[in-house]
Structure 1
Amino acid sequence: MDKKKRNKFGILGLNYDTEAGLGWPGARYAPDQIRESLKWILNRIRDNELFDTENNRLIDMSKVEIKDFGNLSKISRYNHEKSMNETKLEVDKVFDQGYVPILLGGDHSVAWPGIKSLYDHTKGNMGLIHLDTHLDLVEDSPIQGKYSGSSEIRRTAELERVKGENIVQVGIRGYNYAEHYHFIKDNNINVINPELFFTKGAKYVAQKSLELASKGVEKIYFTLDIDVLDSAFAPGSGANEPGGISTYQLFKFVKEVAPYVDAIDIVEVNPMTDYRNMTSTVASKIIMDFIVANYYALIE
């Protein structure tokens, strides 16, 4: 798969955490806090130039358009499935205006409208790269229903033009339901544990993820749950798990996959449980790393 040439990026805040029934609520406040953290980077742009110290390069920001589409304004929070449909319509607008969506959650249920929107804007098969500590393969739940933040990958796997072998779940750790083991095996879903980051490196994991997700597909969706990070690096998340990857490894992964994916969401950042906005700051750098990696692909 070749790098894509894009220079228009649309930020949309999915300020919704109604489905945080099993984790900490508060992710609805993340989009605004991430934007505040992003200002620390944007304020350093002078005369359309920004110094990328990690690559020792100057970035010409005049070649990039970043449009903020605001937050969700009119969604029916009393009805979750209706809210998901209304959210998808907002994501559709970002695609329809020619922007690469950068979606800021919100709990992980908001990934489903993003996934479904890209799917509906794709004629052929679609791949999925999923960074998370959890599998999110719950079939149904009496507490959360079928379209929760624990089910969005299950719903994706059920889509006709998404094959299991093009779903790559990265950073998965801990313990889960035995039923998920069988579902993964039966559907040929790829699961990569954090250990591979430490033994092979983030660049290797990113390239492997792209190799698997891109086979025979037209587009790739990238969903990033911030709890893929070890708890020490992301105190402000909906459901912390120990044993995750580092911020350096996450940033490296994002930079590698950014020019190949067609939409990204960053979910489960929770300002209510964060410490001095550490986790929102991580999310803001992910946004810039994603844009800058696409900028380099554009000018090379």
Structure 2
Amino acid sequence: MSAIPSFLPSTSSVIAILGANVDANSSYLTGTAAAPDVIRAAFHSDSANGFSESGVDLMHNPLITDMGNLVPSSASMSSLSAAAQTIIAHDKRLLTLGGDHSITYPLVKGVRRALCARGETRLNILHLDAHSDLYEYDILNQNNRYSHASPFARILEEGLCSRLVQVGVRTHTQHTRAQAAAYAVETHDMRSISSSSWPPKLSFDGPVYVTVDLDVLDPAFAPGVSHFEPGGLSTRDVLSLVQTFAGDVIASDVVELNPSRDVGSYGMSISGEAPSGVTAMVAAKITKELLARMLESAEAATSSSTST
């Protein structure tokens, strides 16, 4: 699918899934544009099931609609912003499968516009990543301010979030440290994280956008990414954080799976299915837990509005 369908999710659904086939803004390797359908295949793989760890059936759930893929036609990816704005404006929640991390800036912009239109000025971001993605300038010298090294610089420059919390960073430069300090970014970098203090006790006031770059994981757990950065989180670390932080998850994304670098997708299942790679299965697992959190948030919001 090369374009977003012209319809919105059904009135009964509360979450829209959207694929973003983007890798033109990558700084090292391409290949992430193929990831959305690879994650979907892993999500539906016969080797697992469609339930979250909390017992939510995500495979056959009328509250979730998959809207297919969107291939943005410009560097600024305005079509992604428009899609996100439309979905949130119709009181849905959005989970996007990337794609490289450049997609987060236009998605956040669209979510922010929709929230502001209904009088909500708060938008928190929980960002899991090996990299801060705070570069002010184009690190490739290609006159591209929208590369995957810069989405949070653009977000902060435009005041699109009220709070940015970054977890798992282990590649700061002097420039990105200065950027983080200038914009009061809350950082839980790998040097400050210990097993005794994990997961960090995070609580957010107002809507939360969760963005998971798979290279936040140590390469031992997620080899199918473009940038190997040793010393990262485990899969259980990421799942524990997703499951335990306090906040109303309005939107999320899972980015930077590079299927061409993944391992384990060999052989054939007894049903004739080509097995998914290790990192694709990790991405699908994280996607399931994010969907469960978003359904939980939607239920809590409905209960709150009903009681008032």
User: Could you state the TM-score of these two structures normalised by the residue count of structure 1?
Assistant: 0.81
Match of 2:129 in 1: 132
Q: Are the counterparts in 1 of residues 215 and 225 from structure 2 also a CA contact under 8 Å?
A: yes
Equivalent AA in structure 1 for residue 68 of structure 2: G
Deviations along 1:21-50, whole A, 9 cap, x unmatched?
Answer: x222100010000000010279846xxxx5
Q: 1:121 to 1:258 in 2, by over 3 A?
A: farther
Q: 1:274 to 1:262 in 2, by over 3 A?
A: same
| 2-structure distance, mates of 1:60, 1:144 | 42
Quote the residue 1:67 is aligned against: 65
Opposite residue 236 of structure 1, the aligned amino acid is: G
| Match in the other structure for 2:78 | 85
Q: 1:7 to 1:248 in 2, by over 3 A?
A: farther
Question: For the structure 1 residues 106 and 221, does the alpha-carbon distance in structure 2 shift closer, same or farther, using more than 3 Å as the test?
Answer: same
Could you tell me which amino acid in structure 1 is paired with residue 148 of structure 2? G
Q: Is the 8 A contact 1:108 1:225 kept in 2?
A: yes
Q: Provide the residue aligned with 1:283 in structure 2.
A: 283
Structure 2 counterpart of 1:272, one-letter code: S
What SS does the corresponding residue of 1:272 show, helix, strand or coil?
helix
Note the C-alpha offset of 1:90. 2.3
Task: Write the distance in 1 (CA, Å) between the matches of 2:56 and 2:251.
Answer: 25
Query: Greater relative contact order (Cα 8 A, min sep 6): structure 1 or 2?
Result: 1
Give structure 1 regions of 4+ aligned residues with deviation exceeding 4 angstroms: 41-45, 57-64, 294-297
- Cα shift at 1:105: 0.4
The CA RMSD measured in Å over matched residues stands at 2.7
Q: Does 1:268 align with 2:273?
A: no
Q: Which runs of 5+ in 1 are unaligned?
A: 1-5
Partner residue, 2:14? 8
1:24 maps to which of 11, 15, 29:
29
Larger helix proportion of the pair: 1
Q: Secondary structure at the match of 2:223?
A: coil
Residue of 254, 276, 281 corresponding to 2:242: 254
Distance, in Å, in 2 between the alignment partners of 1:167 and 1:86 is 24
Show the 5 A alignment for 1:16-165: 16-20=22-26, 22-40=27-45, 44=49, 50=51, 54=53, 57=55, 65-73=63-71, 75-76=72-73, 79-81=74-76, 84-123=77-116, 124-141=121-138, 142-143=141-142, 145-160=144-159, 162-163=161-162
Larger mean CA deviation between 118-127 and 234-243 belongs to 118-127
Corresponding position of 2:176: 180
Could you tell me which runs of 5 or more consecutive residues in structure 2 were left unpaired when the two chains were aligned: 1-11, 265-276, 304-308
* CA positional deviation for 1:196: 4.8
Are 2:194 and 1:198 equivalent residues in the alignment?
yes
The structural deviation recorded for 1:242 is 0.3
What is the distance in 2 between the residues matched to 1:221 and 1:239?
23
Note the C-alpha offset of 1:219: 2.0
Partner of 1:148, secondary structure, is: coil
Deviation by residue 1:132-168 (Cα, 9 ceiling, x = unmatched): 00011111212362111111011111123534xx211
Report the equivalent of 1:227: 215
The structure-2 alpha-carbon separation of the partners of 1:100 and 1:42, relative to structure 1 and needing over 3 Å to count, comes to farther
Change in Cα spacing, 1:198 to 1:41, as seen in structure 2 (3 Å) is farther
